[in-house]
Structure 1
Amino acid sequence: MSLPRTASPHDAGDGPTGWWRRNRFWLAGALVLGALAFWLPYRDAVHEFQDRREPRHPRDVAAGQWGEYEGARWRVAAVERVDDVPEAFAGYPHDASSLLVVSYDVVPGRAATPDLLDRCKGRLSDAQGRTWNAGAMPHASLDRTRQRLGTRCGSRTNADFEREAARPGEPFRFHHLYQVPRAVPTAALRGEIAFPPFTTTPAGTYLRFDLRDAGAVE
């Protein structure tokens, strides 16, 4: 007569080793889900932080067309270029540069007050990712040009030192000035209008205009 065999803790399927083997797929899935639970909120937080720091989401506007942005309509009215500006510094040193004046028309809605519009910033960019900020010109000789043209988006000071402001439903023209490398053609540049990223809906959006055939004067 043989006695029943007593299970050994070393038998396959029993003990810690067997438990890990039976549940290895579930444990792997739990590990992946746990990692995602930490990673996804972190990624979203990073993206939100970047959106609040700088404009990252362009709304492209074709040449000559209007773009809707932050309660107003915007378009490039004209582009004028002067190529006899020497020695500039625009992210890197170069010997020959050009003065570029981009003229915009804005038609504000009722909620887009002049003070709100004046918060806008102008920038140029090219396909290589280089950017030039409006008004960031080092030459004191260009100050007169900067002062002669209204560079704020919603108001300007006239010759009598009185404020002229944009009105709802009426076009208001303003100008952004840039100093760019002479070797970069105007057609390769895009004009940008941006508000502080954390104030836009969605956050970090901005208008990006095609400057080709936008009434340009080379």
Structure 2
Amino acid sequence: MPPPRPVIAADARADAGGWWDRNRFWLLGALVLGVLAFWLPYRDAVHEFQDRREPRHARDVAAGQWGEYEGSRWRLAGVRRVDGLPAAFAGYPHGPSSLLIVSYDVIPGREATPDLLDRCKGRLSDAQGRTWDADAIPHASLDRAQQRLGTRCGSRTNADFEREAARAGEPFRFHHLYQVPRDVPTAALRGEIAFPPFTTTPPGTYVRFELGSAAARD
């Protein structure tokens, strides 16, 4: 009876190659699952960080309608546009620009105190992703009538330097002021109201209004 044939290196290599061939799909699947196990939590963490850092989830409200946001009701009340600004408006030279006064009404909910409402921020945005922050204009650049406009969402100071505060269930009007390029039409802009992103439910939620083309001009 002939002795068994010894296993040579070529046979070992063939067996090893056959094992890889037989299991390549399982190995590929394990690799993909391993990558996903690391990437998915990382992606979720990045999204959560972005939601807590800046407003990202818009809640659109139709023109003239009230929208619910963070326990209160909000409405775009009007837009006034002043195109004849001097070249050094706001204390520095600039290209042709306009002043936008965007007015809102808020009806505070039962839990919405004036101090809580005053944490809100205003912003304008357009379809190109450009944004303008509210009240980024020195008030010394405005006339006395415009200086008396209340720019906080929950309180204002009247002519007697007394604080007037929003009351639960009653409309309270406030105004946000913007300096925008003259060539940007009002109809291309959207007014936004946002609370600190980490305080909203879900995080990063804000309310957004189309300004439309019906704006009063000076």
* Equivalent in the alignment of 2:99: 99
Which runs of structure 2 are paired with 1:116-155 in the superposition (5 Å)?
A: 116-137=116-137, 140-142=140-142, 144=144, 147-155=147-155
* Equivalent in the alignment of 1:87: 87
- CA–CA distance in 2 between the matches of 1:21 and 1:64? 67
- CA–CA distance in 1 between the matches of 2:119 and 2:149? 17
Q: CA RMSD in A?
A: 2.3
Show CA shifts across 1:55-99 (max 9, x none).
011111111111110010001111111111133799xx8521111
Which runs of structure 2 are paired with 1:197-212 in the superposition (5 Å)?
A: 197-212=197-212
- CA–CA distance in 1 between the matches of 2:144 and 2:161? 15
Bigger drift between 190-199 and 7-16 goes to 7-16
* Equivalent in the alignment of 1:76: 76
* Equivalent in the alignment of 2:49: 49
TM-score computed with the length of structure 1 as normaliser: 0.89
Alignment partner of 1:67 is 2:59: no
Show CA shifts across 1:147-174 (max 9, x none).
3100000111111222111111110000
Q: Say whether the 8 Å CA contact 1:105–1:173 is kept in structure 2.
A: yes
Paired amino acid for 1:216: A
- CA–CA distance in 1 between the matches of 2:163 and 2:15? 84
Q: Flag the 1:64–1:46 CA change in 2: closer, same or farther, 3 A.
A: same
Structure 1's unaligned 5+ residue stretches are none
Secondary structure of the 1:11 match is helix
- CA–CA distance in 2 between the matches of 1:125 and 1:109? 27
- CA–CA distance in 1 between the matches of 2:47 and 2:89? 31
TM-score computed with the length of structure 2 as normaliser: 0.89
Q: Say whether the 8 Å CA contact 1:97–1:181 is kept in structure 2.
A: yes
* Equivalent in the alignment of 2:26: 26
Which runs of structure 2 are paired with 1:126-205 in the superposition (5 Å)?
A: 126-137=126-137, 140-142=140-142, 144=144, 147-205=147-205
More strand by share: 1
Q: Say whether the 8 Å CA contact 2:148–2:159 is kept in structure 1.
A: no
- CA–CA distance in 2 between the matches of 1:194 and 1:21? 57
Paired amino acid for 2:95: D
Q: Say whether the 8 Å CA contact 2:148–2:158 is kept in structure 1.
A: no
